[in-house]
Amino acid sequence: MKKIINIVVLVFLTSNLFGQIKLEHSYPNGKWQTSMVKLSNSGIKYQWVDVTTGQVKLYNLDHSLFKSMTFPVLSGKTGVWVVYVSETTFDLDAEVEFMVYYQDDGNWINSVTKIINETGDIILDKASETPAMNSYGDKIEAIFNTTGETKMILDNHSDNALKVYSLPGTLFAAAIKTIDYNNNFLEIYPNPAVNYIKLAYTLPTNIKVATVSVYDIKGNIVKSYTIDKNYKELLIDTQEFSNGTYLCQIYSNGIKMSDTKFIVQK
């Protein structure tokens, strides 16, 4: 009898062990064009792209629709890629922006790079320019955070020049391959704010002191604070702030580590 009970328990445990992996959701026509992104203000999303119809859709982790966006469909391109979906890279407003890279292997001069926001407005349109590639030629590496500014590097195939653009925001996240939950991430609440806002932060183990700076929509510093490891939350008084969108950034030793946005609405 004891052996029978043990066998039943073993079967039960084995069933639980092998029953934990299940298909959660299926995105139609999502092969090669579906990934995950981590937005600086809105968190982790599924990114679904249909290059044949010019659609970008972001879904929440429960697979409900977060944003539906469009971009132009150009004929004669051998490849179309949507990259750098971001809230705080290409401008400082509350919208989502992204880069669309149209590749033409037959004649690279016909390649195009566009920066588009969630309403379909084209922020940047560069013919014959493509995002820079790494030495292996299979990874797009066109945007870099540097001390003081964020740079975008595009190759120009008309004059063989390298074009360096200065961006108003900061690169927070591109497509996620490995999710790092220990990232020095800034989380702000409540958002929108009225009288105050709380900034939750986690400093990396090698960083003892950092600076938090708050910028208005014009890029002017409104407030600046020094933080350390003794606390993980900063209370910011917004009673003197005007209504609008603000960018909050964290620095250490002159290096920009992370940023997020919040809105003051009284």
Residue 204 CA, chain-centre distance (Å), reads: 20
In the numeric block, which tokens belong to residue 157? 């195939």
Average pLDDT, the chain: 81
pLDDT at 140: 67
d(CA 18, CA 8): 16
Could you tell me which of 131, 129, 137, 133 has the C-alpha nearest to residue 158?
129
How confident is the chain (266 residues) per 10-residue block, as mean pLDDT?
A: 47 52 80 78 88 92 94 91 89 90 89 96 95 57 80 90 90 48 62 89 79 84 88 89 86 72 87
Instruction: Choose which CATH entry (1.10.3230.20, 3.30.2130.10, 3.20.20.140, 2.60.40.3080) describes domain 187-264.
Output: 2.60.40.3080
For the chain, the first-to-last Cα distance in angstroms comes to 71
pLDDT at 38: 82
pLDDT at 181: 32
In the numeric block, which tokens belong to residue 134? 């790494």
pLDDT at 59: 94
Entry pTM: 0.62
* CA angle, residues 221, 119, 220, in degrees to nearest 5: 5
Residue 120 CA, chain-centre distance (Å), reads: 18
pLDDT at 8: 44
C-beta separation of 143 from 154 below 8 A: no
In the numeric block, which tokens belong to residue 4? 């029978």
